[in-house]
Amino acid sequence: MDPVIAAVNVRGKHQERGGTVLSFVPISMEDFVKKYVASNPGSKPAEVRERLKAALKDFNAGVPCRCGNPIWVIGSAEVGRACFTCITGEAMPDRDYEIREACIK
Ligand SMILES: [Zn+2]
What are the pLDDT digits (tens) for 52-100? 999 999 999 999 999 999 999 999 999 999 999 999 999 999 889 999 9
pLDDT score at 23: 79
> Ligand 1 centroid vs 55 CA: distance in angstroms?
15
With beta carbons less than 8 A apart as the criterion, state whether 18 and 83 touch: no
pLDDT score at 60: 97
Residue 92 φ then ψ, to 5°? -135, 145
Q: pTM to 2 decimals?
A: 0.77
Whether residue 53 is contained in a domain is answered as yes
Residues with CB under 5 A from ligand 1 (ion): 65, 67, 69, 83, 86
Whether residue 47 is contained in a domain is answered as yes
98 DSSP 8-state letter:
E
Task: Give 2's pLDDT tier (boundaries 50, 70, 90).
Answer: low
Q: Which domain holds residue 50?
A: 22-104
Distance of CA 4 to the CA centre of its chain: 31
Whether residue 13 is contained in a domain is answered as no
Whether residue 17 is contained in a domain is answered as no
> Ligand 1 centroid vs 58 CA: distance in angstroms?
14
For the chain, how many structural domains are there in total? 1
